[in-house]
Amino acid sequence: MGVANEHSIAWGIAEAFRREGARLAFSYAVDSMERRVRPLGESIGAAYIGPCDVREDEQLDAFFEEASAALGRIDTVVHAIAFSNKDDLRRPVHEVSRAGYLEAIDISAYSLIGVAQAALPYMGTGSNLLTITYMGAEKVVPGYGLMGPVKADLEAIARYLAASLGAYGIRVNAISAGPVRTLAARGIPRFGGLLDVAATASPLGCNVSTQCIGDVAACLCSPMFCSVTGEVIHVDCGFHIMGVPAQLEAWKEAGRAEALKEQEERASGVQSEAE
């Protein structure tokens, strides 16, 4: 749930799942998205492609009923859905409208609960619910605005769902992906700068790809991770461990200058002793 085009994180996950032998179903939120989602789904032999606006409980119920009729038991649901209107996304948080916040929370966070309710009758022991989040839920990321608090809510929901669905043998986890140039990312102000900072500051010195995210998702939802639930797994080339990434270049330059000064002082001391 959440494929927009071939650059979507959800599509990278779908490709990885298909490679590992999964049979797939896809949802699209509105009719205008069908022309993008259907050709992609058909290209990898989707068993079902249907509408599902997560704001409508009736559509959620109908989607999972029809998807399960095509698939049988549902082993994994991938929730890669997020939305905010552009005006509120571009405002500082203290200027966000009540209506804009409630809409973003409903579609981006509460929808995980709605999806769990609708999918539960067709899932069972060993099934998975996986959602996609971002480091802006944990720390302030310039330009991410209102989606930071919304993703924080999503992560808390995932943890509480992991606790309540554990009784059914269902695992719930989240992948916190590094910045990826997706359709949704276009709405984030100065997104190109986030990509540059992440590539510069991450320990691996690069940005993550949808293929890498898909590979981790396939592992996380496989029996190999049967005891892992309620986790937020960072797939961001290590960016989240850095304490001062925005100042990294200045810090590096200062370190180089200090090292050079120490070398010069040691060289000067050796020369004095020789004299």
| 205-221 burial: b if 16+ Cβ within 10 Å, else e | eebbbbebbbbbbbebb
**Number of helical H runs and strand E runs in the chain:** 10, 6
Closest CA to 181 of 201, 144, 208: 208
Residue that is written with structure tokens 């009784």 in the block = 167
Distance CA 1, CA 16 (A): 15
d(CA 216, CA 218): 5
Bridge-based pairing state of the strands 171-177 and 25-28: unpaired
Q: Which residues contact 157 (CB under 8 A, 6 or more apart)?
A: 109, 110, 112, 113
Catalytic choice (28, 48, 110, 134):
134
Residue 226, classed as helix, strand or coil, is coil
Asked if 100 and 52 count as a contact pair (C-beta separation under 8 A), the reply is no
Query: For this structure, is 144 an active site residue?
Result: yes
Q: Which residue among the candidates 28, 110, 144, 160 is catalytic per the annotation? A: 144
Dist CA 179 CA 204 (whole Å): 14
- Asked whether the beta carbons of 92 and 110 are under 8 A apart, the reply is no
Enumerate the active-site residues: 134, 144
